[in-house]
Structure 1
């Protein structure tokens, strides 16, 4: 059975054990990267295809006459034409809940950076500021404690819950936001606007949908405290990037930390990348990418293939209702 991984280089730099994949099915053809113009040709005779971010569009899916299974090496599945796969009766599966510890610790890393002013103090040392200081401890940047601060979480699934647990270990108060459009509150939830007003840190962990597209924009920035920090390790379109840039530039909020941008990689640039101040932290969509997380993802992908071949349940994606 011809089995192809189209972009294995996007999930490993030689640090991932492929044993689970090889035990599920063998042999594999591993491509580090597949340009879009080569996708249809590379999968033309394939029976199982794995892709992390390579687009599997209608043309490619219909050109692959032997295709029996599409495996997404990620949770998001916007890179696969599900309607075309359904027309061909080709199941599509993804992997879920593999990156929770990695993303949760990345979120705390952002908060700790803002509390401890790590970036500024590192730059101070690099430019000789400590070496020339009159005092043993330069107090150029105000350090704060997470203890006693309020964290607002938007999206209380496994990721949001994991972040809440870590925050509580730092003695933070945690508020779980109710849906923005909700007219009533579920137990343990706080009205969305109240979270915006009260939180010192706001962290996004909700999926991207019509309801959450630009869930944070100028309206929400107007509600936030000037001392508030916004963190996004989820999807870029949850935040209006232009409104974020304006909120930072005008000191409407104290800072922001993001792991996602509207274009990745940002080959055409992004105004946020040109923002010159250290109250904006940007990481290159790396929150998920611990070696442990990537290994779990590969093992779960292998389990999907094994279960498919043995007629057992696997993480098959259903076509969204029209």
Structure 2
């Protein structure tokens, strides 16, 4: 009988109905799995389901029975896909589920920073409104989105959905060409122009070797309009220490991040030192996690398992 092992059930919200595959199988489920537990827990598995539990080349050497990995996410940097290909292991990932939830979270961060919601909320908590002596006060700047330029890095379905919302709000939406690319199609604006002219820059691109630290000290120095920086895509796209320096120097007005280089963050993450600033918002990798989106994630994840078992694998990465 096919053995299916789900390594990290706790990464899918408790409201999600975990439907199991519709073929006879042996099911094992763990709330969490550390990297050093993966090989042991998958020792007899034919199919692995994982969200963030890593499956690397050295682990695969100890898993001769493994035939398929269903990733309960779009990002698959936790899987050594080339090593899986070498061993004939199919890897499938979830696609298209986040077309509403991530863009909505992106704009939640944009609105909060553009209108200084965090700062004004804290002022009310601290009694500043009560001391003002009039119906309002002006401790923080408030800016409209209408007429501002939104620079989007990444033109996939999520980037396009973000652009659609931006246009509906009257923003000038542009998509960045690849960094260092001298020529590009009509959809794109040069990388340097996006950095130099955008009022808000938001990232929606995968983390790969050529996108790690895509934005760092040199890029921040190019940002003439002091933009807000948003990252709801992958930690590591922005150099976090360089971001703190850019905030300190006033090269950017604010930062809204849902993803960090290491998750959960370690104590020396530079962003943890500035969380009390009103122009910095960090949320715990929840942009993807609306109840509706999480249910779609699971339905796709288990469907991939079923399709593989039926001999018709879908959304294959290798």
Q: What TM-score, normalized to structure 2?
A: 0.93
Partner of 1:143: 142
Q: Secondary structure at 2:184's aligned position in 1?
A: coil
In the alignment, is the contact (CA less than 8 A) between 2:198 and 2:225 conserved in 1? no
Q: CA deviation at 1:145?
A: 0.9
Q: Find the aligned partners of 2:77 and 2:184 in 1 and give their Cα distance.
A: 31
SS in 2 for 1:132: helix
SS class of match (2:236): helix
User: What SS does the aligned partner of 2:151 have?
Assistant: strand
The answer on whether the counterparts of 2:7 and 2:33 sit within 8 Å (CA) in structure 1 is yes
Deviations 1:221-251 (A, max 9, x none): 1121353111111122221222211110111
Please state whether the residue corresponding to 1:216 is helix, strand or coil.
coil
How far off its partner does 1:163 sit? 0.2
Matched with 2:12 is 11
Where do 1:233-244 residues align within 5 Å? 233-244=232-243
Provide the residue aligned with 2:284 in structure 1. 284
| Alpha-carbon distance between aligned partners in 1 of 2:213 and 2:79, rounded to the nearest angstrom | 23
Match of 1:248 in 2: 247
Q: CA deviation at 1:61?
A: 2.4
Q: Tell me the CA shift for residue 84 of structure 1.
A: 3.5
Deviations along 1:149-186, whole A, 9 cap, x unmatched?
Answer: 11011111111100000111111111112222121231
Residue 109 of structure 1 deviates from its aligned partner by 0.7
Partner of 2:70: 71
Distance 1:53 1:223, change over 3 A: same
Runs in 1 of length 4+ with deviation above 4 angstroms? 24-27
**1:187-233 CA deviation, whole Å, 9 max, x = no partner?**
13222111111111011112223332322122221121353111111
Q: Which residue of 1 aligns with 2:260?
A: 261
**Consecutive unaligned residues in structure 1, runs of 5 or more:** none
- The equivalent of 1:102 in structure 2 is 101
Paired residue for 1:230? 229
Question: Could you tell me which residue of structure 2 aligns to residue 314 of structure 1?
Answer: 314
* Residues 235 and 259 in structure 2, CA contact (< 8 A), matched pair in contact too: yes
> Partners of 1:277 and 1:66 in 2: how far apart?
51
Q: Matched residue of 2:145: which SS?
A: coil
Counterpart Cα distance in 1 of 2:219 and 2:86: 42
Q: What's the offset of the Cα at 1:41?
A: 1.9
Partner residue in 2 for 1:82: 81
CA distance in 2, matches of 1:315, 1:206: 18
- Equivalent pair of 1:25/1:306 in contact (CA under 8 Å): no
Matches within 5 A, 1:143-182: 143-182=142-181
What is the root-mean-square deviation of aligned Cα atoms in Å?
1.8
Offset at 1:252? 1.7
Structure 1 residues 26, 136: closer, same or farther in 2, change over 3 A?
farther
Structure 2 gap ranges (5+) = none
- Pairwise CA distance, 1:54: 0.9
Counterpart contact for 1:24–1:303, Cα < 8 Å: no
Q: Which residue of 2 aligns with 1:303?
A: 303
Distance (whole Å) between structure 2 residues aligned to residue 291 and residue 51 of structure 1: 19
